[in-house]
Amino acid sequence: MTQTDLVPVRRALISLSDKDGLEDRARRLQDRGVEILSTGGTLKALKAAGIDALDVSDVTEFPEMMDGRLKTLHPRVHGGLLGRRDNAEDRESMAAHSIPEIDLLFVNLYPFERTVSEGAPFEECIENIDIGGPAMLRAAAKNHPFVAVCTDNEDADAVLEAMDANDGATPLELRRALAAKTYARTASYDAAVSSWFAAENGETAPAYRVFGGKLIEALRYGENPHQAAAFHAGGAPRPGVASARQIQGKALSYNNLADADAAFELAGEFDPEAGAAAVIVKHANPCGVATGKSVLDAYERAFTADPVSAFGGIVAFNQPIDAETADALTKIFLEVVIAPDADKAALDILSGKTNLRVLLTGSMPDANQASWTVKSVAGGLLVQERDWGMITAEDLKTVTEREPTEQELADLLFAWKVVKHTKSNAIVYAKDGMTAGVGMGQTSRVEAARLAVRKAEDTAKENEWDTPMTQGSACASDAFFPFADGLEAAISAGATAVIQPGGSVRDDEVIAAANAAGIAMVFTGMRHFRH
């Protein structure tokens, strides 16, 4: 096949679900003498705008039918897209069967993803699975040496600009790039359909698993400067970093996005109707988390929990930011602030910190929403449900002689939410709705407990407290204590109540140690490993 550089556009087929900007782009084609073929609603819109367009049915001599299910699946359409202009047999076939050459295809697909996200019934979702569109797009992309293919307005604008620069022709480099993008778009579309169908069928391990997503932005680099990276939107719609509006600040880095996601997901554990919560994250781990009487109160308490680690951190809120909170946020160097919203006064104050990245999501994520996570390994993918497991007071089993007090119970549940979002092995101390010490990412659970204590002691010195906040605290462990030594470390730190999954062969030893110390301990029956 000849790789011809400039190919003139003489005939275009346009069939759009989203018709935004259609009139302007079609008129530019018409002004260049391009014959336009179209279908259904797109054809009606073109004619209503006074733009000449030919019904595809007049070309195929076959009527649109089955409520639009069948209209472009015809040899005269696909032959026009697939026919090789430099192949004598193809040209003979096209002439013999009155197949017109199609030089430009502009198709955006039925809004399947949006239909699903809006909670439409099964039958409506099925009808929003596009068949003819992907078939045409793939055909045109395959024949990119001669056909330019567009899947969205950005593509169409690129083609129009190229035609303006090349006397109505498109260059090969652009057609190749559009072809590559088209296959990615149809793959992403199929991924959405197959994932939805598997979920509808209750399949947790389908024979084939595919993921797709649209580029949000290319990133300067990944975790380190020598790693290429990009940010794509994909999966189930969820308020967070992928949907947020960046109000100000420099471009977000890979690490900024990962940390902001970790912070906001933890903030999502706290119901905004129940009160304000603030989360400070550093290197994907919480370093200060607190609830408060106001957004400002929650932030000040979270900051107090570990003022050293907060420097250069990410702050997330479960309620909109007000002016007072914004003023407090400007007193320290922060990388990112993410919240559902912020009032104008707050934004005016934050704008004084020009490098501070401010993200507004519009709402909070649902901590109970099921979705999937994926991690690449050599030669494969590890896929699992997002950890949406929740524990309430009714789910707890007291295993010690002493029951937790009302305040201890509240702190236990608070600590349990935080430990869920802390890298394993993880130990979290909490007191009065505020983290007192966080130990994360250790190879030994007892070492995680000791690390949390050391951090609590450092925080006490920084705040000039007489004693660390671990005194009289509640302690959460993301998995069971395999030995009594981890619990004993928590007791030595001053913990008076412990929450843990239970399930160790040495549970009896651990319970005995708790009873000997006179502390309360509850089992959740659920662990929160976060490797």
Query: Which positions are catalytic?
Result: 142, 283
Alpha-carbon radius of gyration of the chain: 29
Interacting residues of 124 by C-beta distance below 8 A, sequence separation 6+: 115
Distance in angstroms (rounded) separating the CA atoms of residues 298 and 321? 11
Q: Evaluate whether 5 touches 172 at the Cβ level (below 8 Å).
A: yes
d(CA 317, CA 305): 16
Residue type, 121: P
Dist. CA 468–CA 459, nearest whole Å: 7
* Residue 146 main-chain phi, psi, to 5 deg: -130, -15
**Total Cβ atoms within 10 A of residue 320:** 16
CB 435 within 8 A of CB 420: no
| Sign (positive or negative) of CA dihedral 387, 391, 395, 396 | positive
508: number of Cβ within 10 Å: 11
8-state DSSP, 469: T
Residue 432, H or E segment: none
Alpha-carbon distances of 284 from 64, 149, 256, 313, 422, rounded to whole Å: 54, 41, 9, 10, 8
Separation CA 107–CA 153 (nearest Å): 10
Which contacts of 79-83 are long-range, i.e. CB under 8 A and separated by 24 or more positions? 80/11, 80/13, 81/13, 81/105, 81/136, 81/139, 81/140, 81/143, 81/147, 82/139, 82/142, 82/143, 83/143, 83/146
Locate tokens 């797109």: which residue? 42
Distance CA(8)–CA(30), nearest Å, equals 14
The helix (H) or strand (E) run that includes residue 507 is helix 507-517
Can you tell me the distance from the alpha carbon of 270 to that of 468, in angstroms, rounded to the nearest whole number? 25
Give the tokens for residue 362. 């519009």
Q: The tokens 């929650």 sit on which residue?
A: 298
Pair type for strands 213-219 and 104-108: unpaired
Provide the CA 379 distance to its chain's centre, in angstroms: 24
On whether the CB atoms of residues 498 and 514 are closer than 8 A, the answer is yes
The total number of residues shown for the chain amounts to: 531
